[in-house]
Structure 1
């Protein structure tokens, strides 16, 4: 366990899994596309890729990627979220763990893609962000991709103000040996423009 409580736990008390799942179920029933993150990642992957969904929540993205033929592992610290994921897809791998201590989970390195969607990075415990980025980069294979999505202003966050800037995030990725490959404004791929409120970033681990 991390010695510092993450911002998500501060917001929800670790009891938001069922409500979170109901929210996306309502969106799907209303005709909204709730699989944008999975579609974005799938387009970057070869068939049957290994994917780590870091901060997987209720498993919405990892379950969809598995349906598309990929081998997905989900990790989250929120028991209420993992309970929903395990009920929805009992045959998939769901791990309870702290992203600041991925080593404790005994993960086999060599993931083709690591995903941190759903404002995972802005909702980490303050000060832990560089260590988490290093840990996520460390489990990628050479040439593997770190894909993140994060709000950059209050309108795109469940917080009164942003906690992470893109400059800081890119710096942490560079320190972890990753290079920015692509940046979009949405999961559907619209180009990112400076000052935007949301960013989807693709960073790559060098092949050599």
Structure 2
């Protein structure tokens, strides 16, 4: 069982979506992830939203002209995504067992985005497997961008993966380091409890 399932029981989709809706209504920018993705690959590029949740990032990328596929394990999150944008492909799958062919999709993505603390919320000891499976769906030269908390102040669960450990997983999967930021607004990373990392196949 993933840490996310232990934390939520797979029943928090509507509450999660409501939190971001409230932020948007208050004037907060909730599209930093999509904006950074759009700065990395041109419109029309193929994007996999790994751990897509309620679809906030992917729906915005689709609006910007990207060819998107979303995958998540939580049925309550996917139910919200499908209601919000029924015309987009929302797939239910465990990232540790992610097999595009079995889901009827082609593995040639230009970008994989894993926002929303995906890696710290995976099942224990599956991080390397998930990186390997996500790297395998990238075309040569494709990018994976992952943002996650590194300490208790930035996570709803105890920290489970460090940046060196994540970089080691990426290297083992044949990925090379490109850049690292402290926010999805691309502020430079100089240490701290949250990081957004970019690696290339």
Normalising by structure 2, we get a TM-score of 0.98
Matched position secondary structure for 1:142: strand
Residue in 1 that maps onto 2:175: 178
Corresponding residue to 2:112 among 111, 114, 122? 114
User: 1:11-41 CA deviation, whole Å, 9 max, x = no partner?
Assistant: 0000000000000000000000000000000
Gaps of 5+ in 2: none
2:16 is the alignment partner of 1:20: yes
* Cα distance in structure 2, aligned partners of 1:156 and 1:21: 19
* Cα distance in structure 2, aligned partners of 1:106 and 1:67: 23
2:175 is the alignment partner of 1:204: no
Matched position secondary structure for 2:17: helix
* Cα distance in structure 2, aligned partners of 1:106 and 1:137: 18
Corresponding residue to 1:191 among 180, 188, 193? 188
Corresponding residue to 1:37 among 14, 33, 43? 33
The aligned runs of 1:146-165 (5 Å cut-off) are 146-159=144-157, 161-165=158-162
Residue in 1 that maps onto 2:166: 169
User: 1:100-138 CA deviation, whole Å, 9 max, x = no partner?
Assistant: 111143431110000111000010000111000000000
2:3 is the alignment partner of 1:11: no
* Cα distance in structure 1, aligned partners of 2:67 and 2:105: 13
Q: Give 1:191 deviation, angstroms.
A: 0.5
The aligned runs of 1:118-137 (5 Å cut-off) are 118-137=116-135
User: 1:65-105 CA deviation, whole Å, 9 max, x = no partner?
Assistant: 00000011000000000000000000000001110111143
Gaps of 5+ in 1: none
Q: Give 1:46 deviation, angstroms.
A: 1.5
2:62 is the alignment partner of 1:69: no
User: 1:171-190 CA deviation, whole Å, 9 max, x = no partner?
Assistant: 00000000110100000011
The alignment's C-alpha RMSD in Å is 0.7
Normalising by structure 1, we get a TM-score of 0.94
How many pairs align?
A: 199
* Cα distance in structure 1, aligned partners of 2:139 and 2:50: 16
* Cα distance in structure 1, aligned partners of 2:103 and 2:198: 24
Q: Where in structure 1 do 4 or more consecutive aligned residues deviate above 2 Å? A: 104-107
